[in-house]
Structure 1
Amino acid sequence: MAILGQRFAERNVLYEKSRVLGMVTREVTLVQKMADSQRLRDWAAAESSPERKHQALIELEEYRRILRDSSYFFAHAASGNYYFNNEKGGHEIGQPRYTLDPANPKDAWFYLTLRDVKDTQLNVDTDRKTGLTKVWINAVVRGDNGDAVAVAGSGVDISDFIKAVVSSELPGVTNILMDRGGAIQGHPDVSMIDFASARKAAGKEAQQTVFELLDDPRGREALRRAMAALVDGKADVETLDLVVQGQRQLIGVAWFPQIQWFVLTMTSADGASANTRLLPAVIWLIAALVLALLAAMLILQKTVIRRVIRLDRAARDLSEGRHTEMAADPLDDELGRLGRTFGTMAERIASHTEDLERQVAERTEMLEQAAHTDFLTGVMNRRGMLQRLEAERHRLAHTGGFLAVMLVDVDHFKQINDTWGHALGDQALVAVARVLQNSVRDYDLVARWGGEEFMVALFGLTKFDQLRVVADKLLCAIRQNRLDCGETRLALTYSIGAVMAAPQADLDAIVQRADLALYQAKTEGRDRAVLDCLMLDEPACGQQQCCNEDKPCPVAIKGPSSDATPVRSLGAELSAQAGHVVGTRLVAAGGSGLLVQLATLGSDVLLQSC
């Protein structure tokens, strides 16, 4: 009989545990999801932002509609502002109900939750402002760095909680919910509940615990050992035979790791004996029901079950993304019609899924391209160029060859914007991008580096003279372009700073060396290229020059070819617009210069004819 009583206590506490989980787990899960909401985390990070606050309150209202208590609260760690709303309303949801105070003992639950709770905690307490007594579900909201930035949660009305969870459906059985310290969190008699347990435990105040119900000190110690074994996972259920308030009781205890509570069922020894005497009859009844079910299964096997299994298999395949042809059911009954309808639905889902995957792939490709493309010129942006440069450097390190980085800066671009407006400036940038793309090989790269500055990357070079040729070609190509600005057609020029380097060279060092070369080209008079090298051997460099990272060594300055006809420069035109004429330096291939003084304005303003 003792063994049967123990079995009864075990099954009873497992049954009560499943009942509690059925209600509490849903609410805890919803509150945890609410606390993990990105909108709430964003608001906690910037409480004063009206837009984040608006979005967070919308999110909180959506959760309120599906929570059992139709209520929520949200409290900020930084300000202590406490927001609350339930189905009764009665308060402007955009305003805090009150502000929590660390010096107020009634607000200690909030600061203890922030400090001690990892995810979620249940606490039975009365809100000091609203006067509502509930089983509060407190979930910690964590910022991107993992710090606790707020507490979000909901509550379950204490009477509703007792009715749905604590009250037992079996006669002679009493259910008690208690926390890890044994403080009573749920009891059919509300006066037995230990309210504000978290605050009391932190302040070492007296609490109403289940141990006070036990008459024998040895019984209290036995219960503590059983609770410790459950928390450590050594057992799923612990059963004890103890004396509670003068009556011998069979105790069953189970642990809820999800909410950090125990459920304890107490059954009087006489009640347990009465229940165990009914056990043989219950077993015979169950056996009869099983036999009846087996008979029904045999009857239905051919007409229903096989067809249901086939339909279930097709549904599982569909849910896992596999579209399989299902043989048509020839019978014209409910299952047959259901099978044919399911087949039609599966075909439509497969077609829709295929179309959706295609659209997602297209959108992803478009977004990827947009993230690496300059929207004005259509060439790569800085991010795209850096990614490609790194990849090409690693490739060249294995295949051989050198790379060259050319920084190209449009001459007098600020004056173009100031004199003719930004629309013409945009046309100039588009024209430069088009010239650069058309002047290099298909596998070389062109990018807008920033503002009026572009970058050209050349790969697989073997001689420094190849860089000279490309620089000549780029300088010549830009002079073929004209920009219309009223009665005047302007020819663009740009300055180039270029570095040819071994692929092992540091990318930042290459770009810095190219920037220095560009600066020299600008100071030398613009419309030219200054070429440099980095970590090249003497055969590749073609001369006795230093090619190290510490000392720049420009080896060539390129300007207009030696047969250039002196014509009016863009700089001269811009100065003429300001009311005076300046001289323009045109640099020949060998580096010699010709200073030309101009005094008249023609219909074309050109730097060079190539």
Structure 2
Amino acid sequence: MSLKTRILGLAATLIIVAATASWLAYRELSEDIIERWGRQVAEIQVRYDSARLLQSLEREIGLARQMASSSTLIQWAQNPDDPDLKTQAIRQMESFRSNFRDNSYFVALRHNGHYYYNNAANEYAGDQYRYTLDANKPDDAWFFQLIDEGRDFHLNVNPDVELGVTKLWIDVLMRNEQGEIVGMVGTGLNLDDFLQDIVDIGQDGITTLFVDYTGAIQLYRDRNYIDFASIIKPEGQKNTVDLLFDDSQDKQQILGMLQMLKQREGRAGAVESGFVTVDGRKHLAGVAYLPTIGWFEITLLDLNTLVPPSYLWPLVAVFLVSLLISLVLFHLIIQSRILRPVVALEGAVKRLREGNFNLPYLPKPDNEIGRLVDHFETMANRVQLNTRDLEHQVAHRTEELHRLARIDALTGLKNRRGLDEDLDAEIERARRDNQSFGLIWLDIDHFKAINDKSGHQAGDEILCRVALWLKANVRPYDHPGRWGGDEFVVLLSPCDPVVLEQISSRIRLAVEQESLKTGMPVTVSIGGYLCQPGENSDTILRQADRALYTAKEQGRNRVCITRSDETTVSPGA
């Protein structure tokens, strides 16, 4: 039997034992506990739902108030026929549109009744003026009603027939410096999205709705109960919250809770609760007043759905005790069959991670853990072999990269970096052994003219040939290299004045003669310097460069040998 099967079988046994003990405790549950717990949950849920609504609205309301206080919009509202003010106002409105959650806004001017609107799709860019509000049209009555009432802020759920949208509208009055109403601004939130995010939370047993100050339903998961355009409807024609209840006592109770909260309007966090019947099922109703928006939040909890008897405390206590006993037994078994081998394996993994391949003894039970230990030991051996091989490859590659970084790609000679290192080594050796060494600096004569006449490819071929001739005419232990461009450097060690002159002349003559055979004759000018112990690289290179300059000045195709006390120029053939 596999380890998985054993664990599942043992877990199933523990669950059966715990479930049996919990079922025995079920008969002792009390309805009074359910009700007291339900009242606490109702208050928490009401505050939670209220906070979710306010969190969604407070930012939008703040932006709308900021928009209503815009001096640009206020000036335009007082002078709507001014084209410059209109242009500035449109730009201001569009800047607010990008900040609103719905990316939409509206502006209505009192002076001429013009209604401006744009949506998230920027559908009305350049044509924000949509229509003119008419006091005689029922669909526009909300605008004039709010102005007559002088309500600086208002929330309403209303379909806009002209625009073909239904939204939760945030309305804020615009006032000039004298406090006169000059228009109205705001934004709208898509009703379906808002209902889904705030009201229809998708949790069984919890129903949330919002009503205005008069009890008219503003937000509810069933749109048929929503009282659209409440502000223009007379009392008695509104869809009020009591429509949700069949029993007259329930209607009176819910309206009574609204009235009590109105009387305690200034008390923060006040919640009223009571039991009502909805669709034949007993619910606990929690009601809170939201002074920020002037609405009430109502939460209906179906306690039979939310708190089934099986979840009460006696059952939980018995269940926990049974589970604790079962877990102790389970732990004793798991400890020997899984935990101890896994702990040992973890220690071995840590050793391996730290690079220590000397692994301790690992217990191997006859299950998946034992097979895992076998696989780990095989893997550890393979990792050890691969690590050694990789270290060898890295060392080899590092050495190769070190060599390539000091080789000129075109000629295969050492580059300037390699020559600098060789020069430093020779200077140190000369100081230590008190011996001189030679440095040859040569330059291909008229190389720029060759490049200009024959092209860079021909120039590259000449550089490669000169490099071959250079290697062929120095000793095996000398250090030839390409200094850069058409300049080459050779370090001669050991060296004396005679050797320096002989090798320099041999190189010059070889280049001259061998190049004639190729059909593209070239010559070189050579400067040589016999370096003395204690001289630094700057001095040595400066002396060799001075010798090279002398050879060029004397007509090129020359060898100029210089020491600290003398200079000798050997002409060409």
TM-score normalised by the chain length of structure 2 = 0.47
More helix as a share of residues? 2
Kindly name which structure, 1 or 2, has the bigger radius of gyration based on alpha carbons: 2
TM-score normalised by the chain length of structure 1 = 0.44
- Asked which structure has the greater RCO (Cα within 8 Å, sep 6+), the reply is 2
